[in-house]
Amino acid sequence: MSRESANPRFNSLNIPFSMITDIRIRAFRALDDPETCLKFIQGHRRVLSIYGIENITTNTNDWMFNPAIFVVVVESVDGEKLYGGSRLQAADGIHELPIEEATGKLDSRIYDIVKRYAASGTAELSGLWNSKEVAGLGVGSLFPTRVAISIANQVGVTNIFSLCSPTTVRFNEWMGSSVLTSVGENGTFYYPKLDLIATAVLLKDVDTLPKAHARERDKVMFLRENPKCVVQEKSPFKNVYINVHYDLEILSANPHEFLLNSVTSDHIY
């Protein structure tokens, strides 16, 4: 992967970008790092409160005790500052995925869809957020999405659901996701508030990502082969660069842990 010379710029808050030249993106099972999980919860809640959102189904502390949840965090290299992150929750046959909790009462078809895909290992990408310090740089939104997909092979899932805001739909499309048109109103729901729209998407063939943009597929495959590395990344939205210290090896992960083979996974939409 090529390394380009750093270009000092300013972010959307007029903070000199040189002040945020290095970040770390780390992945772990939620049970393995409760302290960081609490930081994640606090940061996510602060962001939600800015938009007056309090009723997101995963806006609780419960998930940090769920062994089926894996966390991606964007943080300072020393781990003191958390800038954002995401969660990858594997379907374990016990806990509902966030998309089921959020939309099941609106459209019960989601339950059967998740159940069918769970046979070959399914998960959901959720809890995506970023702080103001990195707003507009992509490191709190695109990067955690990319990384969550890159760790899917460690978790052992072959497809990933997501309930996206209008902003993050495009990131999932870059990864090769398709709108799940068989639920809601052609895949959309009024959630988490009546004046907000969420779109259900599904990413199939996570192992090979045949529908992903070549750039994103190459980056995901690189991270799978090099879970611990330092890469100079360019913001997708600004001509700025940042050194990303990736630490994505999840020692407690088992790629056979979440294969629910009691159901059949058919192509259903």
Comparing 95 with 137, which gets the higher pLDDT?
Answer: 95
Amino acid 65 reads F
Sign, CA torsion 254/256/260/265? positive
pLDDT at residue 48, rounded to an integer: 73
CB 116 within 8 A of CB 266: yes
pLDDT at residue 55, rounded to an integer: 56
Phi, psi of 54 (to 5 degrees): -125, -15
Which pLDDT tens digit goes with each residue over 156-195? Answer: 999 999 999 888 898 899 999 999 999 999 999 988 777 7
For residue 17, which of 143, 140, 133, 129 has the smallest C-alpha distance? 133
What own/partner pairs with CB < 8 Å and gap ≥ 24 does 11-17 have?
Answer: 11/133, 11/134, 11/135, 11/136, 11/137, 11/238, 11/240, 12/135, 12/136, 13/132, 13/133, 13/135, 15/133, 17/240, 17/242
Query: Does residue 16 register a pLDDT over 60?
Result: no
DSSP 140-169: TTHHHHHHHHHTHHHHT-SEEEEEE-HHHH
Amino acid 184 reads G
How far apart, in whole angstroms, are the C-alpha atoms of residue 69 and residue 137?
26
For domain 22-247, give its CATH number from 3.40.630.30, 3.40.50.1220, 3.40.50.300, 3.40.50.150: 3.40.630.30
Share the mean pLDDT of the chain: 85
User: What is the domain partition of the chain in residue ranges?
Assistant: 22-247
Which pLDDT tens digit goes with each residue over 212-269? Answer: 999 999 999 999 999 999 999 988 877 888 899 999 999 999 999 998 864 443 433 3
Least confident of 24-33, 87-96, 237-246: 237-246
Prior bond of 210 cis (ω within 30°): no
Provide the token pair at 117. Answer: 């895909």
How far apart, in whole angstroms, are the C-alpha atoms of residue 85 and residue 71?
7
pLDDT at residue 194, rounded to an integer: 76
Query: Does residue 127 register a pLDDT over 80?
Result: yes
The stretch 62-83 carries a mean pLDDT of: 94
Provide the token pair at 183. Answer: 């639920």
How far apart, in whole angstroms, are the C-alpha atoms of residue 91 and residue 159?
11
DSSP state of 9: -
pLDDT at residue 261, rounded to an integer: 67
pLDDT at residue 268, rounded to an integer: 38
Q: What is the CA radius of gyration of the chain?
A: 18
Which pLDDT tens digit goes with each residue over 30-70? Answer: 999 999 999 999 988 877 776 566 655 555 689 999 999 99
How far apart, in whole angstroms, are the C-alpha atoms of residue 39 and residue 126?
16
Prior bond of 192 cis (ω within 30°): yes
Instruction: With H, G, I as helix, E, B as strand and everything else as coil, classify residue 127.
Output: strand
The stretch 185-207 carries a mean pLDDT of: 90
- Alpha-carbon 177 to chain mean position: 13
DSSP state of 132: G
